Structure 1
């Protein structure tokens, strides 16, 4: 074999080795910096938690908190992925995502499948109705129509309501629509009420000018926290996120971001933020 062929085949062999190395690196989730890339799944339409700016960049309270969580880490870096609500969980199940973040509250069913770190926001549930509605409280929902997204905590709450009130259940209309679409349907009179988190509701009513809607406070035991959720096996990541949320809580960063995106301090109680 002449020298030109030796050089040719050696070069091809080097290319093959480098390509294989690149594939291995990608499959392990390592970036060029050597850090593990944490892929976050989010819907990106739940303002002010997660939404797109005019230039298409994702922002919002949860996005910016997660950026702060991974800022300066020598082990992890973070990347955000816009997806459908159901795909957030499918992505966690398939290891496409390591974190799901989209105004996610606690549920027993989710805890069986995913890891919950510290909460990073408090988002009280409220009842939204037209100003001329006869609905005054949860006791008045029988026979009334609302839209829910299957698998959400609100849907589960109302499904449980119907089990207890089978003689006069509320009318659940399942949808894949965003909360913006659901609120628009309520404002247009297509539905009778919506139970949802206060922060998102206040933002939509203000931004869309829904002057015909009013917000009714719910009992204090209906006050969910907001969490990022983590793939079940990644306890090291859970430990890291817990520590960083505690640090950001203590140094005032969470309060600063809460005021910026929520217009007030909507944080968990200090006793619920652990090392």
Structure 2
């Protein structure tokens, strides 16, 4: 009986200590997109799941002094929210760009890797590289986004061989690939980490990628500039998860391969 009583006391003390640690942790909020499979999306039961959801959960298990709450939002609401102070960090498989680095903190450690692919109709044998996109009709891209920067960098280096870059929103990802298959576009330049292969298979489209990626990017969460100390804790947590092989395992789970095996060609 005495041993049992002592065990109860120890258990109670342990719970108190755990509660104290949790109470001392600063709670921050991350905005994750609710329709960007497989990064983060609502499954058929309405539950938010995906690679970045799992990454945040793993970070919470090792980070010191912080706890990250997840909020599912639209793509448009995410960056608006971090600028207004509603969110402390934002996901979405984001690339580093000069525009974003002016406004946000980027972790020292990337949490993902994305290959940039040219998607084309399988019967179009003429498209393999960025050079081949000159004179072709592309799906619209977002101004100042990663794909826009990739294409404008190409144009800056090839003054006599320019790619026409259409700006704007082109709708859901599935619609982009459907429009490509239907001939509205000649090519879609997109990161691979948005579940293109699954979408193309589900729609039974005759769409394939060029033989090689045109670029391999590190991807990040962006952090409010007010949270420098959190950034440092975040970096330590991500570095630990990488060393444990946790991010590689999550990559295999959600992307079907270890994306960290690719050599980064663009930060």
- TM-score normalized with structure 1 length: 0.77
1:180 shift after superposition: 2.8
User: In the alignment, is the contact (CA less than 8 A) between 1:125 and 1:217 conserved in 2?
Assistant: no
Which shifted more, 140-149 or 125-134? 140-149
User: In the alignment, is the contact (CA less than 8 A) between 2:151 and 2:163 conserved in 1?
Assistant: no
User: In the alignment, is the contact (CA less than 8 A) between 1:47 and 1:203 conserved in 2?
Assistant: no
User: In the alignment, is the contact (CA less than 8 A) between 1:150 and 1:175 conserved in 2?
Assistant: no
Alpha carbons of structure 1 residues 130 and 247: separation in structure 2 relative to 1, 3 Å? same
Which residue of the partner structure matches residue 60 of structure 1? Answer: 50
Supply the distance in 2 between the matched residues of 1:223 and 1:113 (Cα, whole angstroms): 23
Which residue of the partner structure matches residue 15 of structure 2? Answer: none
User: In the alignment, is the contact (CA less than 8 A) between 2:118 and 2:213 conserved in 1?
Assistant: no
Match of 1:193 among 187, 191, 196: 187
Alpha carbons of structure 1 residues 136 and 268: separation in structure 2 relative to 1, 3 Å? closer
Q: 1:224 aligned to 2:224?
A: no
Q: Where do residues 125-274 of structure 1 align in structure 2 (5 Å cutoff)?
A: 125-133=116-124, 134-146=126-138, 147-162=140-155, 164-165=158-159, 168-175=162-169, 177-200=171-194, 201-210=196-205, 212-218=206-212, 222-267=215-260
Supply the distance in 1 between the matched residues of 2:263 and 2:226 (Cα, whole angstroms): 27
1:245 shift after superposition: 0.6
User: In the alignment, is the contact (CA less than 8 A) between 1:44 and 1:102 conserved in 2?
Assistant: no
CA RMSD of aligned residues (A): 2.6
**What number of residue pairs does the alignment pair up?**
238
* CA deviation profile, 1:45-81 (whole Å, cap 9, x unmatched): 2211111111211111111101110126563222222
- TM-score normalized with structure 2 length: 0.79
- The unaligned stretches of length 5 or more in structure 2 are 1-21
Larger of the two Rg values belongs to structure: 1
User: In the alignment, is the contact (CA less than 8 A) between 2:115 and 2:217 conserved in 1?
Assistant: yes
Alpha carbons of structure 1 residues 182 and 269: separation in structure 2 relative to 1, 3 Å? closer
Secondary structure in structure 1 of the residue aligned to 2:176: helix
Which residue of the partner structure matches residue 46 of structure 1? Answer: 36
Alpha carbons of structure 1 residues 269 and 242: separation in structure 2 relative to 1, 3 Å? farther
Alpha carbons of structure 1 residues 35 and 270: separation in structure 2 relative to 1, 3 Å? farther
